[in-house]
Amino acid sequence: MSKITFLGAGSTVFAKNVLGDCLLTPALQGYEIALFDIDHQRLQDSANMLNNIKKTSGSTSIIKAYTDRKEALSGAKFVVNAIQVGGYDPCTITDFEIPKKYGLRQTIADTVGIGGIFRNLRTIPVMLDFAADIREVCPDALFLNYTNPMAVLTNVMNTYGGVNTVGLCHSVQTCVPELFKHLEIDQTGVKAKIAGINHMAWLLEVTKDGVDLYPEIKKRAAEKQKEKHKDMVRYEMMLKFGHYITESSEHNAEYHPYFIKRNYPELVDRFNIPLDEYPRRCIDQISRWKQMREDLVNDANLTHVRSHEYASYIFEAIETDVPFKIGGNVMNTGLITNLPREAVVEVPCLVDRNGVTPTYVGDLPPQLAALNRTNINTQLLTIEAAITGKREHIYHAAMLDPHTSAELSMDDIVAMCDELIEAHGKWLPAYK
């Protein structure tokens, strides 16, 4: 019996999408679906939910919840990771409130920036523990990472964990559909090429019947910018730098030095930037969980429709040898030639019985590669801090972050990092 292990299975809604998809996939019938989470109540909730879908779908897979991680991983062919270390309270609150004392405002704070740095620092040790277990009990497993910060964690698992890891993000498959819907352009027959880094990959080419659609896209985007809408940052970046970005405007507002600025507070209103957006989402999700739990966990007639999540399609392509194309986060083994080889890049990949094979992209347009490198700098210094245990590299990562360095002095950045390290306490290893 083949086995899919889901780490962080207490993420019940996400588990429904990824594992519900697997229960509906013919090539994955008879699999064991192994669930693991440190929150045993949420773990059992997810098991109950999936058993409801199993019953209504007629799946022959076996769903089993584990409280021992190594047992959950033992013999797995595929591992899916969706953990969040530290949760909303206390860690996400800390990531937002302490920087706010220094005048540094954020929107999502889960990828780069000061919030992304500290989310990485508390998550990397856990991921390396996963890697040690995987090398011992399922060394040939394919590890699919859905946890942010995507690029750093995927890099660490490949470079230091010794685990075959591909990072997966929703922003690639939703990029063109959402853009075309907002601009009221028919996307039938459209061809697109996307590459870059996670949350800052670029719509490099977009054509229909051989015709470049970018002139029409930019014309309509410029018209849209005359009134407020939810995607103003991405449109502004496209109009200034020439290409559309995969991830949302609320994310990209904090990846660059141009939008959230104390000396220009009018920019936040002008570009409709939702400061403190992620804490609001967390509070909303917590408040809605009781009803969601009733709907998902206690509904014996729960059904599921296969989602757009990549995981089940990857497993299916490997099992059947019917190729499937994804946008994946992988080590840059010369795939994007003007980005550092030690970085993780997001590029088109082909999946079949051979596994996940990335495709060659070549040079990005120079201005796009330059923007990517500003975020890669912080990513690589964050990894250096986590692996060496040196506090100075935390400072370096923060001082190289575009948004943080545009707002704060070096002394304030160091002081803020020290305060964040102290506040995180047991969630971080000791830094010297």
- Asked if 21 contacts 309 with a C-beta cutoff of 8 angstroms, the reply is yes
Strands 190-197 and 200-208: antiparallel
pLDDT by residue for the chain (432 residues), tens only, comes to: 799 999 999 999 999 999 999 999 999 999 999 999 999 999 999 999 999 999 999 999 999 999 999 999 999 999 999 999 999 999 999 999 999 999 999 999 999 999 999 999 999 999 999 999 999 999 999 999 999 999 999 999 999 999 999 999 999 999 999 999 999 999 999 999 999 999 999 999 999 999 999 999 999 999 999 999 999 999 999 999 999 999 999 999 999 999 999 999 999 999 999 999 999 999 999 999 999 999 999 999 999 999 999 999 999 999 999 999 999 999 999 999 999 999 999 999 999 999 999 999 999 999 999 999 999 999 999 999 999 999 999 999 999 999 999 999 999 999 999 999 999 999 999 999
| Look-up of token digits 């797995």 | 76
Per the residue annotation, which of 40, 170, 243, 251 is the catalytic one? 170
Q: Considering the entire predicted model, what is its pTM?
A: 0.98
Domains and CATH numbers, the chain: 88-109+170-275+327-426 (3.90.1820.10)
Residues 6 or more apart whose CB falls under 8 angstroms from that of 104 comprise 114, 403, 404, 407, 408, 416
Q: Catalytic annotation on 170?
A: yes
Instruction: Say what the pLDDT of residue 333 is.
Output: 98
Extract the tokens encoding 52: 């409801």
Instruction: Say what the pLDDT of residue 1 is.
Output: 74
Cα–Cα–Cα angle for 29, 33, 39, rounded to 5 degrees = 160
Q: Residue 280 class from Cβ within 10 Å (0-12 exposed, 13-18 middle, 19+ buried)?
A: exposed
- Asked if 246 contacts 199 with a C-beta cutoff of 8 angstroms, the reply is yes
- Asked if 273 contacts 107 with a C-beta cutoff of 8 angstroms, the reply is yes
CA–centroid distance for 169 within its chain: 5
Distance CA 172, CA 175 (A): 5
Extract the tokens encoding 145: 């990472």
Extract the tokens encoding 97: 């409130």
